Amino acid sequence: MAKIYVSSTFNDLQEYREQVRISLRSMGHEDIAMEYYTAGEKRPVDKCLEDVASADIYVGIFAFRYGYIPTDQDKSVTELEYRKAIELEKPCFIFILKEDAP
């Protein structure tokens, strides 16, 4: 069983994220995603980056939004997650929606 971090902008890709979650779980993998976060002491971006670091695999689902940029950053959380996965040489699987996708 692999721990797989699922990354994307959230509001516009909820349906896609849910389908990935269902697929990963049906194959016996553990999905790690912001949907499971609860209130805590860590800033969300720090929690996200820690989770990327602890995952075996990174899955990025990208579409038309760049995403939220924290006030102390110059990149979106989604881009920071991707860059962390690359920095740590995680296997990355990237899915990009076609321009005519709903």
pLDDT score, position 34 = 86
Measured at the CA of 57, the angle between CA 55 and CA 62, to 5 degrees, comes to 110
pLDDT score, position 90 = 98
pLDDT score, position 35 = 83
- pLDDT tens digits, one per residue of 56-80: 999 999 999 999 999 999 999 999 9
- pLDDT tens digits, one per residue of 21-57: 999 999 999 999 988 887 777 788 999 999 999 999 9
pLDDT value at 102 more than 80:
no
Q: Taking the model in full, what pTM does it have?
A: 0.92
pLDDT value at 3 more than 90:
yes
For the chain, which domains are there? Answer: 3-96 (3.40.50.10140)
Q: 92: burial class by Cβ within 10 Å (0-12, 13-18, 19+)? A: middle
Q: Which residue has the higher pLDDT, 40 or 20?
A: 20
Q: 11: burial class by Cβ within 10 Å (0-12, 13-18, 19+)? A: exposed
